[in-house]
Structure 1
Amino acid sequence: MVSVGPGRRGRPAGIAYHGVAGASQDCLDAVLNLLMGRSAIRQVRLLSAAGSHALLLSTEFDDLIAIKSGFSSGYSGEGPTALSKALCALVAHGATISEHAVEPDYISRVDDAALSLGDLEALSLAQEIRPARWADYIQERHHRWVAEGYWVAMMPEVMPFAILDRRLAASALRFWANPDQALVDGYRLLEDTVRRRSGLDRHGARLFREAFNGRLGWPVAHEAEREGRAHLFANAFMAFRNPRMHRPAGPDPAALAEFLLLNQLFRLEAEAVEIAAVGEVGPA
């Protein structure tokens, strides 16, 4: 049997704390940002005291993360809505949820980032509230979000740097300051790159049609795949780049998706080789 030395239970728990106590949106954002990471949230303990709620999250690697008490229940308002959305997102990601009644000073220690080893031990021994009521905190419309996939709309938009072509790195860093300019600069760079590689003095869709029809291509087995990739460049410019050049810059909720499409074009261009090399791979 392991002996526990005196005073050990009073030592700091040494876990991570996210969110700002009393700030509902900040605490909801903390949950959503964690769900965007690669370490899955496996277990959620909802800590409840007199209509105030905090969360203790356990990851797949058994790391503990506390979310401070920006959540509430028992009335209509920002706090209950934030709790509903947070639980909705956690359920959608497959987390197991249990609710535990705690004293108000326990919530205070979460908010002060001051949980002790004894606090965690006490919580591990505490019975969860039965019958389970945490699902009642999810508002009816948010229940539908889980079933029909609408929860994705509340997730934060983030730039996935790990999958970006390195030539778009500078544009990606300044993307949120001016998405329109980042896209325009990216399109211009792609044109310049293909123009240089192909030796053609063309622009826009015409450049890509000619460049990928006799000068550049991909060493893939199926001719249809090569044609599909080639058409993608010209069609993307006609569908996205050309309209962008003829309208005033402004808010654009689809800008990040368009940037990722542009990134895919850069990745495909990087894989393209001189047509002589393509000819070595015949159709299947």
Structure 2
Amino acid sequence: MFKTENYYHLEYIGEAGITQTCLISLCNLIQVYPDLNYALLLTNQQTHAFILRNSIDSYYIIRSGFSSGYPGEGPKGLATALSLLKKHQIETEEIVVSPKIIKKINHSSLNDVDIDTLFNQKIIRPIRLHDYIYPFRKEIAEAENPKHYYPFELPYSILDDRIFDLALLFKQDPDSALLKAYKRLEDIVRTRTGLSEHSSKLFSQAFLPPKACLTWDLPDNSEIDGRANLFTNTYKAFRNARTHREKDENQIHQFREFLLVNELYLLEREATPLKSED
């Protein structure tokens, strides 16, 4: 017999029988791969796994950490997973598979023939995905409920290069990273403008008309004022509090603040010296 070569790109994630790791893996997948466009729910009686496909036909297999048919964590996790896929507009359908396929999924041993067979298999009709969601609809409807499954990670692709090192520090010491980001931005603006002020007063002199040193090429002066006030108000609202007292804050607030400071860096980079009138 000839051995079939495997050409498809397959990645296995999650742990069989452990719903939480499978949900976290699904949210990581959705966050990292925005081009996911199709999902198959693989059902063997009350045991379920997923296989997701993206636009270039890579396949991501979530092991059988989901279940159905009773009021427990596995069925609730399945309902959450299906709701997340719907929320992200990833088309999802269901097929019935054999115990052998579930075993191969859990042992990371699917081959190309298996993949082709699964994606050519008859889809379950009528669609019963909502039946898995319905018993848990009230819990899933809570706005904050599924969010903790998404990874806490800064979007490196949009970070200003000048604070990339602070983004790495942020993982271990968010407060220190934020304070250094504020101080560094002040140093950058002082170097560009020759001003010697600090905090919001520095940014008022640097960006606020009519005596600003830096500005933006915008058609409306109110937009320029708005951007300038972002600097002064951010320092008043966040930097001053962080500098003068110990803050009791959660991780989400720290992420939001770092991204806000990053926006100031990006705006500063876009600002140009104000042309003096002859």
TM-score (norm 1): 0.86
For the 8 Å contact 2:207–2:214, the answer to whether it is kept is yes
Q: CA deviation at 1:9?
A: 6.0
Match of 1:159 among 154, 158, 181: 154
What is the CA–CA distance in structure 2 between the aligned matches of 1:68 and 1:212, rounded to whole Å?
Answer: 54
Distance 1:276 1:13, change over 3 A: closer
Corresponding position: 1:211 with 2:206: yes
Match of 1:127 in 2: 122
Match of 1:60 in 2: 55
Corresponding position: 1:237 with 2:235: yes
Corresponding position: 1:141 with 2:138: yes
What is the CA–CA distance in structure 1 between the aligned matches of 2:129 and 2:164, rounded to whole Å?
Answer: 43
For the 8 Å contact 2:51–2:60, the answer to whether it is kept is yes
Q: CA deviation at 1:36?
A: 1.1
The amino acid across from 1:46 in the alignment is L
Match of 2:219 among 177, 200, 221: 221
For the 8 Å contact 1:19–1:30, the answer to whether it is kept is yes
Q: Percent identity?
A: 36
What is the CA–CA distance in structure 2 between the aligned matches of 1:86 and 1:211, rounded to whole Å?
Answer: 49
Deviation per CA, 1:43-62: give whole Å up to 9, x if none.
Answer: 11111113111101111222
Q: Report the more deviating stretch, 175-184 or 213-222.
A: 213-222
For the 8 Å contact 2:24–2:149, the answer to whether it is kept is no
Deviation per CA, 1:12-46: give whole Å up to 9, x if none.
Answer: 86522112222212111111111113442221111
Match of 2:271 in 1: 272
Distance 1:112 1:223, change over 3 A: same
Corresponding position: 1:102 with 2:97: yes
For the 8 Å contact 1:52–1:72, the answer to whether it is kept is yes
Give the alignment's Cα RMSD to 1 decimal. Answer: 2.5
Match of 2:73 in 1: 78
What is the CA–CA distance in structure 2 between the aligned matches of 1:224 and 1:243, rounded to whole Å?
Answer: 28
Match of 2:23 in 1: 28
Match of 1:189 in 2: 184
Distance 1:162 1:121, change over 3 A: closer
The amino acid across from 1:140 in the alignment is R
Deviation per CA, 1:105-154: give whole Å up to 9, x if none.
Answer: 21110010101233223323422223222222222136646xx7975564
For the 8 Å contact 1:69–1:107, the answer to whether it is kept is yes
Distance 1:176 1:211, change over 3 A: same
TM-score (norm 2): 0.88
Distance 1:221 1:124, change over 3 A: closer
Runs of 4+ aligned residues of structure 1 deviating over 3 Å after TM superposition are 6-14, 142-145, 148-154
For the 8 Å contact 1:50–1:104, the answer to whether it is kept is no
The amino acid across from 2:270 in the alignment is E
Deviation per CA, 1:77-109: give whole Å up to 9, x if none.
Answer: 322222222111111111221111112221110
Corresponding position: 1:263 with 2:262: yes
Q: CA deviation at 1:270?
A: 1.1
For the 8 Å contact 1:35–1:41, the answer to whether it is kept is yes
The amino acid across from 2:245 in the alignment is R
